[in-house]
Structure 1
Amino acid sequence: MGTVEQCFEERFSFSPGGRLLALTTEGSVRLWDVAAGRENTPIRTPDVEEISFSVDGALLATASQHSIGLWRVETAVGLFGYATAGEVMADLRIDQDAGRIRYLSGASESQGSSVHTLDVRSALSDAGEEAETAMARFSPDGTLLASARWVPEDGSVRWLLRDGRTGAPLYMLPREPCAKQCDPLLAFSPDGRYLVRGARPSPDDLGTRPRLELWNVEQQKATTTLDPPGGAPAIDSAAVGPGGQWVVATDTRGPAEYWDLRTGRPDAVPVTGVSGTPVPRPDGRMLVTSRGHVVDLPSGVQSFKALGPGETTALAFTADGTVLAAADASGRVVLWDGSLTRRLGTLVPPLGTRYITALAFSPDGRILADAAVGGEVQLWDLHTNRPLGLPLPTNGDPIHALSFAPDGTTLYASGQHIPFQRFDIAPPTAAARACARAGGGLTAEQWRSFLPGIPYRKTCP
């Protein structure tokens, strides 16, 4: 079960009462129900050095040199994640009643002499969902959140529309039959008035034909059903233009399709060679895909642009369409002008490789938020192209979509198990959080010690 090294370094832990056993490995924390004699679902998180159960054994805290996590043991679902700056952490403790994680921390060469406290009350209050959400998208203005998941019990794909500012469910869209594993597809039009949705059947599911449906969000009804001509084997991704005027569907195993919904003509614009996830510029006059295909609309003139050094994993335009962000599997984000003629800069992750899953610009275009597959959310100052502090504390749940509030002071996220999260990123809130973590600002004596010759001023209220 364990190795001598693991025992020597105490990289295992029993829950209070001894019913559960946790053991760290290189890429996960393995869990056993000792009483039942069976292994439970492992917690997928790498390089864990410290673990600790809650008093009731329902929660497990983990720590590595770069992060602290909180997990629900029964489902192995992450509830909270907090990025650290290469500290050495020890003596993790979960105070479930107070909603806190406490730990000792110090520099890399020390054993940890400073007590730190993390507030995890909001993470514990998030109910979470055992069923995984396969896909989620915010409308461009952030007022709506659409999500989809495949339900094997009844062989269907289900779509749900939520309030993008509160997370409250608004209504369910009609189910789409899909007997075997299906990957949902969905995308909002740039004006948020329409939603294109569909289901991609598994390759061996010959009984389900791929199709797309255009949904009028305000009227809560389908306006058009689109069947790929010739019985195309699959639809990988789709995009819809402003006002629902056109729909593009791409497929790695066949030609892309374009429907002009004003005239009803398929292939009104030739897009045969286009592949990858398509994203329209907000004015609807350009389409960019994750594979670097650029299509001018409505002329259909195509070009190719290497958007970044690696595989593009996420794309986003600013609200006015003047800047495009392209993220890749290494965590780098390349910024382009809206016509893709000029490279504006590159955002380089400070903590190594991060597979980016979602991007969002603030309404004024000055801040970019990105989310990685491990649930980390990082804010970037686009004036300096530098990160705004450490990643935000999250639940570690893989994130599908991000959106800013109109005033830019709140960030919203939708993940695989936690369908809706809210982050207060207003500067006063960040300052208050920093002061609380530091135990207050510098005293006059500390100021003289660290900043000699500079007049003292109060740094925290």
Structure 2
Amino acid sequence: MKTNPKFLLIFSIFILVSMACSILGGDNWISSVAFSPDGTLLAGGSTNGKILIWDPQSGKIRKTLRQNSSIESVAFSPDGKWLASGSSDLSVTIWDTSDWSEEKIIQHEKPNTGETTHVRNVFFSPDGLYLFSLSNIYGVEILDTKNWRLVKNLGIATRGDGAISSNGEYFAVVSKDGNTVMVYDLKSFEIVFQPQFEESSWDHYGIAFSPDGTLLATQSIIRDERGRSLYEIWDISSKKVIQSWATLPFGGARLKFSPDGTILAIAQYDVSLWDIQTGQEIAHNIVGTDGTVGDSILTVDFSPDGSLIAAGTLDNEYGVWDVKSGSVIWSEY
């Protein structure tokens, strides 16, 4: 199948502008946010090497943690005891939330290939026994949280896009070339599902599990001159798409299910909320932007009760918004 030249031009411009934004403003934006399990804390990792710990209701900074390189990902353990952070220098740091001391630093050797490195994703298993680290160099690594030693490397080449189901049954990862999504059984570490996408869609970015682990949301780019994003909701047991919709514009998105599993948040150039059953948009522009590449939403997370949503953008706007009204609780710019 031939790719439309206009689409290639649009996609190339998107990549170039994104790279330019990264180069010009790359020391200051919030790249990852995560609520603590009890909802009393919000962590935000910044490309200037800082991790800010906020009160999510007031926006008051409770603690500032510092590292030597850009923070790419943050995640709390299920019991709230640990905060894990992944960095551009391929390190994973474990913080003790009782006193915010460094519990453990896991440092990987950087390759001499000149490739940009990052630990794109870190997250804990729902039982808290394992920490998953996803990097574009070392792939998917699973660490034992008792001693922080490597238990398994899945041997997958990935950019770092992945997700784990809240019921602890499944783990999903996007391949490094963006063409394949693989769903693993967490007990056997065998692939149990590999979505078969339409030939017209490619370069898969965002993936997310529903809280009960029965559904998988995926985002990909449609290969046409309009340059749209395709969102699909897959039933894992039947391995079929039960809901799908396409929107403008295209480009990588971050996906997050609400805690009750009824809403999918899509973070792209804004944050929009979609009804899973109907495939209809129920809220638009929760986090306001003017639609430019420089305003791309880099990260999004729901509070544990689903009432709040936190986000950070490429032009360094971040804050907390009310899900029902869309009104801002607090934000910084």
Shared fold, TM over 0.5:
yes
TM-score normalised by structure 2 residue count: 0.69
- Listed as ranges, the matches of 1:314-325 within 5 Å are 314-325=206-217
Q: Which consecutive residues of structure 1, in runs of 5 or more, have no partner in the other structure?
A: 1-26, 28-43, 45-75, 77-128, 152-156, 202-209, 430-461
Inter-CA distance 325–166: structure 2 relative to 1 (3 Å threshold) = farther
Q: Which consecutive residues of structure 2, in runs of 5 or more, have no partner in the other structure?
A: 1-9, 11-16, 112-116, 176-180, 222-227, 328-333
- Listed as ranges, the matches of 1:298-377 within 5 Å are 298-302=187-191, 305-306=194-195, 308=197, 309-329=201-221, 330-337=228-235, 341-349=239-247, 352-372=248-268, 374=269, 376-377=270-271
- Listed as ranges, the matches of 1:414-425 within 5 Å are 414-416=312-314, 417-423=316-322, 425=324
- 1:195 is aligned to 83
From 249, 272, 287, the counterpart of 1:378: 272
Inter-CA distance 250–407: structure 2 relative to 1 (3 Å threshold) = closer
**Whole-Å Cα distance in 2 between the matches of residues 426 and 243 of structure 1?**
33
Query: Once the 2 structures are TM-superposed, how far is the Cα of residue 394 of structure 1 from its aligned partner?
Result: 1.0
How many equivalent pairs are there? 279
TM-score normalised by structure 1 residue count: 0.52
**Whole-Å Cα distance in 1 between the matches of residues 183 and 288 of structure 2?**
35
- Listed as ranges, the matches of 1:24-173 within 5 Å are 132-139=28-35, 141=37, 143-151=40-48, 157-173=49-65
CA contact under 8 A between 1:326 and 1:333: conserved in structure 2?
A: yes
**Whole-Å Cα distance in 1 between the matches of residues 51 and 76 of structure 2?**
13
- 2:300 is aligned to 402
- 1:227 is aligned to 107
CA contact under 8 A between 1:250 and 1:274: conserved in structure 2?
A: no
Q: Which amino acid aligns with 1:353?
A: P
Query: Once the 2 structures are TM-superposed, how far is the Cα of residue 393 of structure 1 from its aligned partner?
Result: 6.7
**Whole-Å Cα distance in 2 between the matches of residues 411 and 143 of structure 1?**
13
CA contact under 8 A between 1:147 and 1:161: conserved in structure 2?
A: yes
**Whole-Å Cα distance in 2 between the matches of residues 331 and 188 of structure 1?**
30
**Whole-Å Cα distance in 2 between the matches of residues 338 and 188 of structure 1?**
26
Identity across aligned pairs (percent)? 23
Query: Once the 2 structures are TM-superposed, how far is the Cα of residue 297 of structure 1 from its aligned partner?
Result: 2.0
**Whole-Å Cα distance in 1 between the matches of residues 184 and 216 of structure 2?**
15
**Whole-Å Cα distance in 1 between the matches of residues 170 and 107 of structure 2?**
24
- 1:271 is aligned to 154
- 1:296 is aligned to 185
Query: Once the 2 structures are TM-superposed, how far is the Cα of residue 143 of structure 1 from its aligned partner?
Result: 4.3
Query: Once the 2 structures are TM-superposed, how far is the Cα of residue 212 of structure 1 from its aligned partner?
Result: 1.1
Q: Which has the higher contact order (CA 8 A, sep 6+)?
A: 2
Query: Once the 2 structures are TM-superposed, how far is the Cα of residue 357 of structure 1 from its aligned partner?
Result: 2.8
CA contact under 8 A between 2:137 and 2:157: conserved in structure 1?
A: no
Q: Which has the larger radius of gyration?
A: 1
**Whole-Å Cα distance in 2 between the matches of residues 264 and 392 of structure 1?**
38
CA contact under 8 A between 2:308 and 2:320: conserved in structure 1?
A: no
**Whole-Å Cα distance in 2 between the matches of residues 342 and 168 of structure 1?**
45
Inter-CA distance 199–385: structure 2 relative to 1 (3 Å threshold) = same
Q: Which amino acid aligns with 1:294?
A: V
**Whole-Å Cα distance in 2 between the matches of residues 356 and 340 of structure 1?**
27
Query: Once the 2 structures are TM-superposed, how far is the Cα of residue 402 of structure 1 from its aligned partner?
Result: 2.8
Q: Deviations over 1:302-354 (max 9, x none)?
A: 356237532222222233333222223442221123568343211322xx334
**Whole-Å Cα distance in 2 between the matches of residues 424 and 414 of structure 1?**
15
**Whole-Å Cα distance in 2 between the matches of residues 317 and 213 of structure 1?**
25
Query: Once the 2 structures are TM-superposed, how far is the Cα of residue 389 of structure 1 from its aligned partner?
Result: 5.7
**Whole-Å Cα distance in 2 between the matches of residues 177 and 224 of structure 1?**
15
